[in-house]
Structure 1
Amino acid sequence: MSGNVVTDLTQSFNSNTSRSLENGHNSLPNSPLKFFARAKSRSNDIFKGILDFVSEAETFLQDIKGKENEEYKVIHPFLEMVKGIIEKLNRDHMKVVFFGRTSNGKSTVINAMLRNSILPSGIGHTTHCFLQVEGTEASEGFLLTDDSEDPKSISSIKQLASALSTMKLKENSLIRIVWPNDKCRLLKEDVVFVDSPGIDITPDLDSWIDQFCLDADVFVLVGNAESTLMQTEKNFFHKVSSRLSKPNIFILQNRWDLSVDEEDAYEVKEQHYTRNTHFLTDELKVADKQEAKNRIFFISAKEALISRLHEDSKKSIPTGSLQKKFAERLSAFENFETAFEVCISRSAVQTKFQTHSERGKKIIADLKKIMMRTHTDCSKACEDQFHKRKETIDELSYLDKQLDLLTEEMKQKIENTVEKVEKHVSFVLNEEIKQLSALVDDFCTSFHPDNLVMSVYKKELHNHIEEGLGRNVQQRCSSEVHQQVENTQKEITDRLAALLKDEERAQLNNALSPCNFEMSYKLDCRNLCSEFEEDIQFRFSLGISSLMHRFLGTKRMKHTLGGGQNYIPRPVNSSTVMSHESDLYQHINEVLMSVTTSYAIITPRSTMGGIVAGLVLKVTGWKVVVAVGSLYCVLYLYEWLSWTNKSMERRFKSQFVEYAASKLRLIVDMTSFNCSHQVQQ
């Protein structure tokens, strides 16, 4: 995992750093600073893979357990943590901070390493605030200050950072000098330099350390070869050491060019070695004696800067600018840079990437535990589901068989119920048809033989019959049908509930609604009796046609009157009813004509009839015949006078009852079947 990145790179340092030191500072392809870029790139790739893994795990847990699950809540913050690490890795750089007393040459050392006079330098108190030099891909450099995001010209650095300027910023302010990478190899390798004001001019060291030093990879203490290590400098690094674990410290004894004419230069150099080594090993305890001695360099930053500026510009160095044994001091400066590059690169890999690596290891370890636990839970759940599935299949197989049996049983119950309903409705409907005359007699509406009035009368009578029959049948059938439907439904529900579990049985009972079945009995009496034609013309009860109709029947009477042939009489028009105001004698004549005609029709047909008529006349005599005729006329007159609208209505209702009953009997089976079909549905 990513935790091995630092170890691998550290081992790679040990094998390649020695080659860099042997080959010298100019071995750029094998520069130790390259390892930081490699570690940064490799760590980025690893954490991008971790990000994908965490994202996939989060999606998986969300799908199977939901966002409210505790494990999801643990993993979800990992995304932001990994994204933050990746973002910080992209911003991470190797940071070196230069400290020392005023006028010890800190700015000149940085200028010499940058091979350019960027930072202001000179005698006295020069740098008033913190200056940070970082690289950019831009072709021109610029300044950035804390109080503004607008870039400023590099030339304004003297006004903003110089202690001699009236426009200088506060001591704890930071000026970022963004310098093109192509002008300095160190900046291109992601190195950032921080220059500080003299530590002997302010007591506020703690805030400086917290604000600018806690993320530093290397500290460079720039001392003065003319003076020994002071307590002010020691106090500062004691405070740094208390906040950081074993900080990497280099000590530069600057201005060593002043010792060329000193006779005791060697003794002074040994004195500096002794005091500085004691400080690093015994007081700070950040290195052993050999390592501490390798962290101390005697240089002349001014000479190194002059030499490099003229070398880059390909100009000759002015006479007197460099002191004797210049090459020795320049070599010491280059050795410092090489050792510095090795140290800062190793330190950056260990301090910056080690922390991220440990966090990555912890994230992966936690994620592994969660996913292993999830895998175990899923395996157990899968096994449980397999057993449940087998049990469910067995239950379903049992239920299928029971449902098949239940279906057949319920079909039979429904058929029995339907058959009972059909018989009951048929019986009730036949009973109501037998009592149809009573229902017709209950109809009370003004009656008149006029066609218009008769049409309205029939329409209202049809409605009365249909409503009355429907109401009577419903009253006699609904309760029993409802009870049968309810009993059948209850039997089906009870049988079905026996196959269900308690919860399902409760849901079934809650889902069932009470039986609100209402059967519809549609008789459509109006269309059924639409062809009914009433005959309410006056007919004498002792008339020949009436007597023949009574004794012979309608068909035989028509056959007899037709002379034994198929005689189709002209239909009687109800509108030709005789008026009560007609002349009485006219009716008597019509009666006599009818009698005469009847006898005239009958007599030729039967010789026996003529013989019988003659015998009667001979035996009884004319007086008896006249008396009987008079009585016959009186009866006719009585019946004619009593032929009122009421009589017509009674005959109409009698005819309608007979006709409607015959028609209704035809639909008894259909109506009962329709009702049974409603029950079945």
Structure 2
Amino acid sequence: MTRFRQFLVNELKVCSEAEAANRIFFISAREMLDVRLKERGVIHHAYQVEGHQYRAMQFCNFETQFEQLISKSAISTKFEAHARRAREIVGEMRNNLDVVQNSTLKRKAELQSNFTTKEAIFKECLNNWKEFERLAITESQRLRNEVHLKVSADFYEEMQKLESIIDRFDNKFIDESAAIEEYKKNLADFVDKIVTEDLEARCTRGLMQRIWNLENSMYLHVNQILAEPYTKKLEQIWRYRPPFNFSICINCPSLMQDFREDLEFRFSFGITAIIRRINAYRLGKPITAVGSQPLLDVFKSYTKQANIEVGEGNMQQNCQEEMQMMTTAESQENAMMAQLILSSIGYVANGSLGLLVIGGIVSKAISWRFIAAGIALYGGLYAAEYWRWNSGAKEQHLKDQFRHHLNARMRSVATTHTLHCETQVLREMQQVLGGLKSTVGGVHQEMKTELDNMRREIEKIDHVTKGLNTIKGKASFLNTDLDRFENEFLKNGSHSPVIQ
């Protein structure tokens, strides 16, 4: 027994001193075989020698210890296989987690790089657009000044050409009231058409190229501001944009509404002509806008106005009915002319004595021959003008009056016309800038949306990375549990919960 124990414990080292007592058994195989066969009824007498009961008890103990050892070995092998498979699963899972984590970190680095680049492009685009907007407003104001100078110069140059334009009108002139009205209407339409076409041609030649160049430079500038994927949208919008054209309306018929031709023969140095010139100067109107009412009628009209102010009986009611038929402009004109006539009569009456004295002195100082020559010259001028007064002279006189009146009216609306052209150009520039702003605003919104999507994707990757780190921590904890299980139950079989 001692030698067996030493062999198992010291030499083979498969068990301890306590376990060695259950590893060495003295039995008789023949006796135990006969006992088992007798129990099954195969034989009737079993082979038994002295001490067979002790050996039978030892055999039973052997069977028990052998069963326990086989069971422990099977359990250990099974749990070792499970532990090994668990380690393999955990290792593969950790490898997969490492691959996924590396991929996510690489994707995150790419997204962060793209996000930084696109954010820098977005900010640069915003800054460049603000700078472009300021430059566009400055260029629009500069273009407005150029339009002001160009249109004003063209308009005044066209006014200088009114004489040649009116001379080109060759409708037949008939010295009748209805025919003259029709003649004036056709002349106004003809001049309006020619002047409008000339001004549109001048503006088109002188300003359209400048406007187109400015719009094209704005388009190219914005095209450089935007990134490559967004330039196609700008090209599509710019391709179908309608061209700009000036809309010019002089409306000569409207300007000539207060034109009053004077085709009666009037001596250039006559009292009526001089009074009408003075009256037109005081009213601030062209002489053709001042009525040609005879002086007697004007004086009667002024008398009626005086009677209205005094208010005399039945005459007051009749005068009020007549005055309702007159326009406000005619009343002011007639009143001023009558006032001028009455003041002239007063001057003559008050200064008649002085004129007689001065006339006597002049007659003595200057020979009567000079006085007669002056009267003859005055009469000759009158006769020459009267002799030349025919249908052709009336037509030319009408055209001259028309030209002077239209020239004065166009001079008064020159500022409005120039402002109208400036407004058109400014509106065009605002529309161009507004279209570009709308397009760039849409691009900015798309870029901002793309940045927001990238930011959210980066946040998702961060969330996934945190989850992967958690899973890796649990896998490490599982490895620790497996190590503890192997140390406690597999390497030290006496503590196995199954065997116990």
Q: Which of the five TM-score ranges fits, normalised by the shorter chain?
A: 0.3 to 0.5
- Higher RCO, 1 or 2 (CA under 8 Å, sep at least 6)? 2
Q: What is the TM-score normalised by the length of structure 1?
A: 0.34
Query: Which is strand-richer, 1 or 2?
Result: 1
Q: What is the TM-score normalised by the length of structure 2?
A: 0.46
